[in-house]
Amino acid sequence: MLLIIAIAIALIIDGVQRAPTGAAEGTALNVPTAPVPMSATTRPTIRVATFNIHGGIGSDDRKDLARTALQLSNFDVVGLQEVHGTLVGSPQNDVQGAG
């Protein structure tokens, strides 16, 4: 029983600690320039993506959410990480000086 408790505590401690990950292998999304037309014989497809927007700041250190939205416009469902701001009012956690 003590062994199980010790393992559980070790797993909890390991899960709580945050560690940065390395850079992603890719440098851009492979997005077609125009949506692919659907024929009668084509099965419906849902395009799903997940993307870390880094607070909207690109690799050129510019904050451009319109550029980010354009890159993700051909997907049906998108999960975003590192989205900052509030739904109402001015953002409280926005990056100062970006933009």
Q: Which domain holds residue 81?
A: 41-87
Would 17 be classed as within a structural domain? Answer: no
Number of domains in the chain: 1
Residues 6+ apart with CB under 8 A from 76: 46, 47, 48
pLDDT at 77 over 90: yes
Place of tokens 């992603």: 24
Would 7 be classed as within a structural domain? Answer: no
- Report residue 45: phi and psi, to 5°: -125, 140
Contact 61, 91 (CB under 8 A): no
pLDDT tens for 53-67 read: 888 888 888 888 888
pLDDT tens for 25-59 read: 666 666 656 666 666 566 678 889 998 888 888 88
Would 11 be classed as within a structural domain? Answer: no
Its pTM stands at 0.43
- Residue 98: what pLDDT? 46
3-class state of residue 52 by DSSP: strand
Would 76 be classed as within a structural domain? Answer: yes
